[in-house]
Structure 1
Amino acid sequence: MSTRRASSLRRRLLLGLLTPLLTLVALGGITDYRTGLQVADDAYDYALTSTAIALAARLELDKDHDLDVDLPAAAEAILRADASDQIFFAVTDVHGRLISGDPSLLELAMPPGSANPGFRNVRRGAQPLRVATYHYQGPEGSATIVVAETTLKRQRAARTVLASAIWPNLLMCVATLLIVALGVHIALRPLDELSGELDRRPPDALGPIAEGDTPREARTLVAALNRLMARLQQAAAAQQAFISNAAHQLRTPLAGLQTQLDLALDAPPEQAHARLAAIRAAAARLVHLTQQMLALARAQPEAAASQEWQRLELSALLEEAAGEQLDKAIAQDVDLGFEPAPAGVNGSHWLLHEMLANLIDNAIAHTPAGGQVTVRCGLDPAGLGFIEVEDSGPGIADAERAHVTERFYRVPGTRRAGSGLGLAIVRECVERHAGHLDIATAGNGHGARIRVTLPTA
C-alpha cells in the first residue's frame, strides 16, 4: 500500500499562492513587454517617417521637368549616419523609375492604397529590416519613398523593455510571498500553540481544551478534540471501573480456592476426594469468570473494530449453539428447544456466537429442573432479523430490567453463582451491531423473554 508524504499547511498555502502569483507575473510581464515594445517601435517608426519626409522635401523638377532628388553627398552621409543600424533608402517616380538610393529596396515598397506611411518587417538575406513606405504627392509630382534600417537598436530596446518588465514583477512577487508567508505564520500561530499545549499535557490530562483565542476556522478542530477527550475520559473511567470490579470479583473465587487448598492439605485422607472436588468447582468458577471478562473486553468498541464482518445466517448460529449447549441443558434437566427460520445479517461471527451463547447459558442457569428454554430466530414483520430466548424460570422484575445489563450486576437475593457479566456481554454485542435489546416476560406469563433485533444484510 503506497503512502503519501504529508506536507505542512504552510507549504500547501504558499504553493497554492505561488501558482496564481507567477501567472499574474507572467501576464503582467507580457503586457508590460508588449506595451513597452510598441512604444519603442512607434518612436523608431517615427524616425523612419521623418527620414522619408525629409527626402520628400528634397524632391524637385530638373531642367527636363523630370522628378529628381536634390541630395548632396554630405546630406546623404548625414541621412545614413547611425551609431547602431544601417540606413537604406530608395526614391521612385510615378512610373517606378529609381530616382535615387538603393535599387534593392524597390521590391520592398508597399503598393499605393495601403497605409501611408506603411511599415513592415522583412528579411533580406540573413538580415532583418524594418521598412517604411511613404507615398508622396506634391506640386512637383508623385513619388514613392522607401526607407529601411536594420533592427539592432530595436532588439536592444526589446531586451531592455523585457528586463524592465520582468524584474519589477518578480521582485513584487517575492515581496508578496514574503508578506504572505509572514501572514500565514501569524495566522497559524494559534495552531502551533494548540499543538504545544497538547504536547505539554500529561498522559492522564483528558479535560477539554480551552478555546481561548482560537480562530473560528480552528474551533471545529478544537471541538472535535474535546469530544475525543471526553470519549477517552469515559473509556478510561470505564476501564478503571472494569479493573476495580474485576479485581473484586476475582478476589472471592481466589480466596475460596486458597481456602479449599489449605483445608485439603490439613484434611484426613478419607476427605481428600471431597476437598479436591470443591477445589475443582472453585477453579471452574474462576475459569468461567475469566472467560466472561475476556469476552466482555473483546466486545468493546476498540477491540470489536478488528473483528471480521461478513454475512451470517442466524439459523446456522442456532445450530452451532444447539451442539454446544445441549449437554448442559440435559445435565440440568432443562428442555432446550430451537425454532430456527431463515434470516441473514451482516456482523461478526464471534460476537454473535458469544451473544447467543450467553443468552442460552443465562436462560438455562435460571430455569429450574423440568423447565423449558426455547431459542428462536427469523425475520420480524418489519423485515429485521431477530434472536429470541424464552425460559420458564422466575423471570426478571420490571425494576431490575434496566440494571441486569450492567457489568457485574446481580439481582438482589439471587442464590445462583454467577459473574454478572452475561447480559452485559449481550448488550455490548448488540450495540456493536446497531441492534436493539428487549427484556420482557415470557408468553406463558412467567419466565423471561429476551429478544435481540438486528439489521438484515
Structure 2
Amino acid sequence: MKPRAAPADEVADDDWYEPPTSEQDETIQHSLFGEILDWMLAPLLLLWPMSIAITYLVAKGIANQPFDHALEDNVTMLVQQFKQTDGAQAGPAPGQGKSARDMLRGDDVDAVYYLVLDQQGRYVTGDRDLPPPQDAERYRSGMVLFRNDNVHGTPVRVAFSYIDTPDAAADAGDDGRALVQVAETLEKRAQLANEIIKGVILPQFIILPIILALVWFALARGLSPLAQLQERIRARPPDDLSPIDSGQVPEEITPLVGSLNDMLSRLSLSIDMQKRFIADAAHQMKTPLAGMRMQSELALRQTDQDEIHRSLLQLAKSSEAATRLVNQLLALARAENQPQAGTAFEAIELSELARAVVHDWVQASFAHQIDLGFEQPAHPVMISGNSMMLRELLGNLIDNALRYTPLGGSVTVRVRATPDMAILEVEDTGPGIPQAERAHVFERFYRILGSNVDGSGLGLAIVREIAQQHGADVDIFNNPRAQTPKWPGTLLRLSIALLPPEAPHEDDITYG
C-alpha cells in the first residue's frame, strides 16, 4: 500500500484574482514628418548664425587687404621721401614734408596719421600721438609690417618700417635704424566689410524660405507612400488578413510591411484556431444537451416512479458531463490567455503544491475505488510559475488517471528533482496510451477510440497549454511499475526548470 496523502490544511480557494494594475503613463504621439523636419531645420538654423559670423570675419579679412596695400604704399612713399640722402639725417628733403602731409591727409572718410623718427628715436615729422611699436628689436629692417593700435582711444591700423642708416649709426654710436609709420582709422574697412556681408546675407534671406519650402515639399513627397499604405489598409474588408504587397512600398518600409505580414499571418492562424475551437465546442456541447433534453422529455411522459427515477439519474449524469465540459472549456480559454512567462509568475514549492492538489482528489479516488498515493522528496523543489494554473494542470492529470484506471487500481503522484529540473509525475495502472496515439492525445477534443470512458478530450490539451506557458515539457511513457502487459499503465512526466537556490526569499514562497 503506497503512503496515503496526509490531510492538509484548508487550501485557499481558486477564485480568479487579478492584481490592480498601475495607471499607464500617457503616451506622447510623435510625428515622423515633424521629427525629420526638426532634425533637418534645427542644424540649418543653428549653422546659419555661425555662417554669418564666419562670413563677417572673412569679409573683414578681405576688406583689410586693399587698404593694407594702400598703407604699405604710403609707408614706401615716406621711406623714399625721408630716406637719408647724405647719411647725416633721416628727415625729409627740403620742401617735401608738406607735400607728404597733404597726400596723406587727403582721405575724407578715415583719419590718417603718420610719424617719422630718426635713428636716435627723435621726432622728425608727423603726429606725435602715434605710438611706436613695442619690442622694436624683433622687427627686421626694410620690411613693411602691420599692427593694430589705438590713437586717442580710436582703433587704427598701422603700417611701419625700420630703415637702416649704417653710416649715421656709426657716427652716432646707436643701432642706426629710423622709423616710418602710417596709420588710419577703420571706417572704410568696416564699410567695405558691411557691404560684403550685405551682399552675402541678403540673398540668403531670399534663398532660406525657398529652401524651407523645398524641404517641406520633399518630405511630404517622400512620406506619401506611408499615406498610400495607410489608405490601402483602411480600404480592406475587416476579414481580409491577406499579406500586404511589399512591392508597392519603398525599400525602407519593406521590413515594417514584412513584420506586419507576419503579424497578420499569426492573427489569421489564431482566428482560425478560435473558429475551430468554437465549432468543436458547439459540437461537443450538443451531445450532453441533447441527452438532457431527451431524458427530461422522457421523464415528463413517464408515470412509473422507477422509470422517472432512472430518467432523472441519466439527466443528472448528462448535466454533470455538460458542467465538466464547460469548466474545461473555461480552463482552456483561461490557460491560453494567461500572460507570458514572467509577468504573473512567482516562486513556488512544487511538492507542497502537488500535495495540496492530491489532497483535494482523495474523495474522488474513494468514489472510483482507486488507491491514490503521493511521493514527496525530502527537500524543497522550487520553481517559478503560476500556482493556480499549475493546480489546474495537475488536477487534469489526476482526473484523467482516475477515469482510465480500473477499479482496484492505483494512481501515484510523484515530485522529484534532478540537478537542474523539477519533475512532476502522475502514473496509473490503466490500459496505457498506445505509442501511435501519444502525438494526438494533446489535441483538443481528441479521444482514443474504444476507451469507453466519458470525457471531453480537453484535459491533456489544457495540460499542454499550461506547460507551454511555463516553458515545461510533457512526456508520455508506459508505467515501469505496471503488473501485467495487458495493463501497461501510463506515466505522464512534466519537466520544468528549477529556480536558482538564491532566487526565492522565504516570505515570497507560494505553497499552493
* 1:239 counterpart residue number: 274
Cα deviations by residue, 1:141-193 (Å, 9 ceiling, x for unpaired): 76322222222222333333444455667777766665555554444443333
196, 199, 219: which one pairs with 2:231?
Answer: 196
Gaps of 5+ in 2: 1-23, 169-176, 500-512
* 1:438 counterpart residue number: 475
Whether 1:389 and 2:435 are equivalent positions in the alignment is: no
CA positional deviation for 1:55: 2.7
Task: Indicate the larger mover: 368-377 or 445-454.
Answer: 445-454
- SS of 1:434's equivalent in the other structure is coil
116, 134, 149: which one pairs with 1:91?
Answer: 116
Task: Indicate the larger mover: 85-94 or 367-376.
Answer: 85-94
Whether 1:419 and 2:456 are equivalent positions in the alignment is: yes
Amino acid in structure 2 at the alignment position of 1:100: T
Task: Indicate the larger mover: 384-393 or 48-57.
Answer: 48-57
Is the Cα contact below 8 Å between 2:87 and 2:165 reproduced in 1?
no
Cα deviations by residue, 1:311-330 (Å, 9 ceiling, x for unpaired): 22220221121121111011
CA positional deviation for 1:278: 3.9
Q: 1:96 to 1:72 in 2, by over 3 A?
A: closer
Task: Indicate the larger mover: 440-449 or 130-139.
Answer: 130-139
Task: Indicate the larger mover: 427-436 or 61-70.
Answer: 61-70
Supply the distance in 2 between the matched residues of 1:389 and 1:67 (Cα, whole angstroms). 123
85, 88, 105: which one pairs with 2:130?
Answer: 105
Q: 1:92 to 1:265 in 2, by over 3 A?
A: same
Amino acid in structure 1 at the alignment position of 2:162: H
CA RMSD of aligned residues (A): 3.2
312, 319, 328: which one pairs with 1:292?
Answer: 328
TM-score for both structures, normalised by structure 2:
0.79
Supply the distance in 1 between the matched residues of 2:416 and 2:127 (Cα, whole angstroms). 109
Whether 1:451 and 2:478 are equivalent positions in the alignment is: no
Amino acid in structure 1 at the alignment position of 2:117: T
CA positional deviation for 1:372: 0.3
Amino acid in structure 2 at the alignment position of 1:247: A
CA positional deviation for 1:423: 0.6
Q: 1:121 to 1:234 in 2, by over 3 A?
A: same
Q: 1:64 to 1:293 in 2, by over 3 A?
A: closer
Supply the distance in 2 between the matched residues of 1:282 and 1:120 (Cα, whole angstroms). 113
* 1:379 counterpart residue number: 417
Is the Cα contact below 8 Å between 1:358 and 1:422 reproduced in 2?
yes
435, 441, 444: which one pairs with 1:404?
Answer: 441
* 2:5 counterpart residue number: none
Task: Indicate the larger mover: 255-264 or 26-35.
Answer: 26-35
161, 164, 174: which one pairs with 1:134?
Answer: 161
* 1:228 counterpart residue number: 263
Task: Indicate the larger mover: 398-407 or 3-12.
Answer: 3-12
Whether 1:348 and 2:372 are equivalent positions in the alignment is: no
Is the Cα contact below 8 Å between 2:163 and 2:179 reproduced in 1?
yes
- SS of 1:241's equivalent in the other structure is helix
Whether 1:262 and 2:285 are equivalent positions in the alignment is: no
* 1:16 counterpart residue number: 39
Alignment of 1:78-227 (within 5 A): 78-107=103-132, 111=136, 113-114=138-139, 116-137=143-164, 143-165=178-200, 182-227=217-262
Gaps of 5+ in 1: none
Amino acid in structure 2 at the alignment position of 1:433: H
Share of identical aligned residues, percent?
35
RCO comparison, higher one (Cα < 8 Å, 6+) = 2
Supply the distance in 2 between the matched residues of 1:113 and 1:453 (Cα, whole angstroms). 92
Aligned length: 455
Task: Indicate the larger mover: 256-265 or 43-52.
Answer: 256-265
CA positional deviation for 1:129: 1.8
Supply the distance in 2 between the matched residues of 1:64 and 1:431 (Cα, whole angstroms). 111
* 1:429 counterpart residue number: 466
TM-score for both structures, normalised by structure 1:
0.88
Amino acid in structure 2 at the alignment position of 1:391: D
Supply the distance in 1 between the matched residues of 2:148 and 2:87 (Cα, whole angstroms). 37
Task: Indicate the larger mover: 217-226 or 108-117.
Answer: 108-117
Task: Indicate the larger mover: 25-34 or 44-53.
Answer: 25-34
Supply the distance in 2 between the matched residues of 1:234 and 1:128 (Cα, whole angstroms). 84
Task: Indicate the larger mover: 306-315 or 343-352.
Answer: 306-315
Q: 1:370 to 1:59 in 2, by over 3 A?
A: same
Supply the distance in 2 between the matched residues of 1:110 and 1:159 (Cα, whole angstroms). 34
Amino acid in structure 2 at the alignment position of 1:105: L
CA positional deviation for 1:390: 0.7
Which is richer in strand?
1
* 2:79 counterpart residue number: 56
Alignment of 1:9-48 (within 5 A): 9-18=32-41, 21=44, 31-48=54-71
Cα deviations by residue, 1:230-282 (Å, 9 ceiling, x for unpaired): 11111000100111111111222222223333344444484565554443333
Amino acid in structure 2 at the alignment position of 1:135: Y
- SS of 2:453's equivalent in the other structure is coil
